[in-house]
Amino acid sequence: LSTLAALGLDFNQLHGRIRSEIGRMSALQYLYLSGYQLSGTIPTDVGRLMGCLQVDVHGNVLSG
């Protein structure tokens, strides 16, 4: 998954936490995780996505 450029999983039935492994997706430019029941903190590993242009996590119960 290190070459994946866009991940759009918005408005599905996901719940739980965002896993820290998402920071390993070094080529990721767009991350859409809106409209879920995701909770907890946003992993600091998201900060490793240096080339990421857009992150959308609205509609969740996240902190951090």
pLDDT tens digits for range 27-58: 999 999 898 889 999 999 988 899 999 999 99
Q: What is the mean pLDDT of residues 4-22?
A: 89
Give the model's pLDDT for residue 11: 83
Reading the block at residue 62, the tokens are: 């996240």
Q: In whole angstroms, what is the distance from residue 49 CA to residue 39 CA? A: 20
The mean pLDDT of the chain is 89
Contact of 14 with 35, CB cutoff 8 Å:
no
pLDDT band at 5 (very low <50, low <70, confident <90, very high): very high
Report, in angstroms and rounded to the nearest whole number, the Rg of the chain calculated over CA atoms.
11
- Provide the terminal-to-terminal Cα distance of the chain, rounded to the nearest Å: 25
Which pTM does this prediction carry?
0.81
How big is the CA angle at 48 (ends 17 and 14), to the nearest 5 degrees? 20
Does 63 score more than 90 pLDDT? no
